[in-house]
Structure 1
Amino acid sequence: MSSLTANDTHVLSALFDPESSPSAGAKISPEAASLPNVSQGELSSLQAQEHAAIVPLNTTSPDRASIDNAIRTLTELIQRYPDYAPAYANRAQALRLRLGKDTTDAANREDVSLIFADLECAISLAAPVSPQDPVSPMQANVLATAYAHRGYQYLKATNAAPQVSTVQLLGAQRDVKELEELASRDFFMAGMYGNKVAQRMAVKTNPYAKMCGAIVKEALRDEIESVKLVNKGIS
């Protein structure tokens, strides 16, 4: 008798345990420390510096000079305070703005790599020690933003060349199915931390949900055909 793999067990739990749905949510508590490794005394100053860097980007089409200046300012902030997670998430956003639609272009590999590295740092620094531990609203916001952004980057890579089975990303050929699974997983996590759009995207991109959806559609088609046949017989 074969035993289930760890992945199979996870999948079955996700399918049959409603608490594993992204809409179930993480434990968010205002009483939790705002950010790990950052004191409350430092927080206000860091937020002010970060705010000053990104305000010029809050327009429909920020110019290149403003984007470059934001990236430079956030980089300096990260160098002085390497444990401040929001700066990484915001620098990743600024880098994506600078690249525009060319995030999968090989010529932009260095910036693309930095986007993924920044998102990984933001997630690592903001994540609770244990998944069961409560997080602050600020932590939840950083985690939801970073996971959703990374999921978007994975999904965008799969859409860059839908006619092929693999996509060049981060200096390596990535299987499209693998990228879709990574995107779905990150959207799931973003949904857990409160991103409503990511909750919907987690369902839409989940490969098992797609498979189940295809089975249901096929069953409905068969049911409709059988009804037609019955009706013809009655007539």
Structure 2
Amino acid sequence: MASMDLTRRDVNVLDKIKDPESDPSTNVMLDPSLPRDPHITNTSVYERVIQKEREIILSMQQLELQLAGLRPKTVAEPVQEYKGLLSKLDNFIEEYPNYASLRNNRVQALRRLYGDTILLAGAPTTPHRLIQSPEPAEATRYARIALEDIDMSIALLTPCTVFGAMSPQAAKTLSLAYTQRAAIYHTSAKLMNGHAVQVEESRREARWTKLEFEEAASHDFAFGGRYGNEIAKGLAVSTNPTAKLCGQMVREAMKKEYGPSRRKGLLRILALLLLLAIDPRGRSTQPDHQGKDRVGDLGDDVKMKFLKVGRVAIITHGRYAGKKVVIIQPVDSGNKAHPFGHALVAGIERYPSKITRRMSKTRQEKRNKIKPFVKLVNYNHLMPTRYTLELEGLKGVVSNDTFKEVTQREDAKKTVKKVLEERYTSGKNRWFFTPL
């Protein structure tokens, strides 16, 4: 078969087909001239560190060959040998706590010992893990270490700004960190129905549901793919729970609308499919005077499972159609003023502009400015996404009482503006700050 050269535009189109939420404008900027690790810039020190790291990794590889039967066994207790190598990694990390690759390798060793089911109590045995029945306290301790190592690796290697450059080696390590955490979350979501989560109460994962594990796994797979892991990029699409939500909505609508008139039911299902699959803004639907879509009920009981505090959604009708918003306060049953399910949301009316290194600091600050809005939106006019946004800076600032006085609303918008601009300049939640 003859080879074919694809342009950058062709590659972007293919990526968009595989993942409709991909954004070519936020591709990672790789610069081989940068240090391979941003926290060890001295070349001689870095060479000494990676040499010692390679020795430990090589010992693990030799042990794996013996376990696979490809080399004669030289150790009687492979688990103890593995723990000894893990102890060497522990000591090495204490010496170089800001070297992300070491933490990434320690997570890989812990996954080999305890498996990707390390977060679950009484998980079924698998041939991939060396310790089949660990003590609960031991598993909980190492689960905390693994999750903290991944969090630290991501924090150490993530660029400070959206358009910050990084070395290819740093991008590869960051991609592996995201992919490893995604694998743990994905396995936990699959086996969670029959097993309890076994992590320390201080960890956010201790309070997660199966859906939240699925969302986190899809998010991490997406970032793993963004930083160069093609397998993670493919898994991000297949594990996206938003697709499952659309399927649930269609099934719910079929139950309610597939009634006496077969033709009428099929037409409404077709309209719903077009709304979900083709027109992300939902402009084809016309709400009646009660604020309900004529294409039929989209299954509010299904939607409510997704419309929680911090969920990112897209407005599908009205002045702000197509704008991304974050849910601040959901009101499932409505209230006296608004007798229908709705949510208090904050969104971006004017998005920040692209900046480059050559721009002055004053111009960069001006182009980083955001114009927000705060609004009550009917549940029928919100399309949930798989993304979430932390709302620590907005708790208690914006509520339904905000709309009673104009001055309160303006003060709330100023607070929202400050929080969103801080998030944008820190490089967090990048998808939220790019228009559709």
Secondary structure class of the residue paired with 2:82: helix
Q: Distance in 2 between matches of 1:169 and 1:159?
A: 15
Q: Distance in 1 between matches of 2:34 and 2:89?
A: 26
- Cα 1:216–1:19 change in 2 (3 A) is farther
Residue 159 of structure 1, aligned match among 178, 190, 197: 190
Pairwise mapping of residues 33-112 of structure 1 onto structure 2 (< 5 A)? 33-39=35-41, 40-58=43-61, 59=64, 61=67, 63-100=78-115, 102-106=117-121, 107=136, 108-112=139-143
- Computing the radius of gyration over CA atoms, which structure comes out larger, 1 or 2? 2
Task: Report what 2:233 is aligned to.
Answer: 199
Pairwise mapping of residues 1-235 of structure 1 onto structure 2 (< 5 A)? 18-19=22-23, 25-39=27-41, 40-58=43-61, 59=64, 61=67, 63-100=78-115, 102-106=117-121, 107=136, 108-162=139-193, 167-171=196-200, 172-212=206-246
TM-score, length-scaled by structure 1:
0.76
Q: Distance in 2 between matches of 1:189 and 1:160?
A: 23
- Cα 1:209–1:18 change in 2 (3 A) is same
Task: Report what 2:382 is aligned to.
Answer: none
Task: Report what 1:232 is aligned to.
Answer: none
Identity of aligned residues (%): 27
- Cα 1:105–1:169 change in 2 (3 A) is closer
Kept after mapping to 2: 8 A contact 1:25/1:194: no
1:65 Cα offset (Å): 2.8
Q: Which moved more, 1:147-156 or 1:101-110?
A: 101-110
Letter of the aligned partner of 1:170 in structure 2? V
Kept after mapping to 1: 8 A contact 2:116/2:184: no
Letter of the aligned partner of 2:36 in structure 1? S
Please give the per-residue CA displacement for 1:49-108, whole angstroms capped at 9, x wherever unaligned: 111111122225482133212211111111111111100000111111111365134411
Q: Which moved more, 1:205-214 or 1:105-114?
A: 205-214
Kept after mapping to 2: 8 A contact 1:104/1:160: no
Q: Distance in 2 between matches of 1:209 and 1:188?
A: 15
Q: Distance in 2 between matches of 1:198 and 1:31?
A: 26
Kept after mapping to 1: 8 A contact 2:30/2:165: yes
Q: Which moved more, 1:195-204 or 1:91-100?
A: 91-100
Q: Distance in 1 between matches of 2:116 and 2:224?
A: 23
Q: Which moved more, 1:30-39 or 1:199-208?
A: 30-39
Q: Distance in 2 between matches of 1:214 and 1:191?
A: 27
Q: Which has the higher strand share?
A: 2
Letter of the aligned partner of 2:119 in structure 1? T
Kept after mapping to 1: 8 A contact 2:117/2:188: no
Kept after mapping to 1: 8 A contact 2:116/2:188: no
Q: Distance in 1 between matches of 2:110 and 2:217?
A: 19
Please give the per-residue CA displacement for 1:180-224, whole angstroms capped at 9, x wherever unaligned: 111111111100011011001100111223334677999xxx9xx
Letter of the aligned partner of 2:39 in structure 1? N
Q: Distance in 2 between matches of 1:190 and 1:101?
A: 17
Please give the per-residue CA displacement for 1:29-52, whole angstroms capped at 9, x wherever unaligned: 212221111122211111111111
- Cα 1:17–1:120 change in 2 (3 A) is closer
Q: Distance in 1 between matches of 2:24 and 2:213?
A: 21
Gaps of 5+ in 1: 1-14, 227-235
TM-score, length-scaled by structure 2:
0.43
- Cα 1:17–1:173 change in 2 (3 A) is closer
Q: Distance in 2 between matches of 1:71 and 1:173?
A: 29
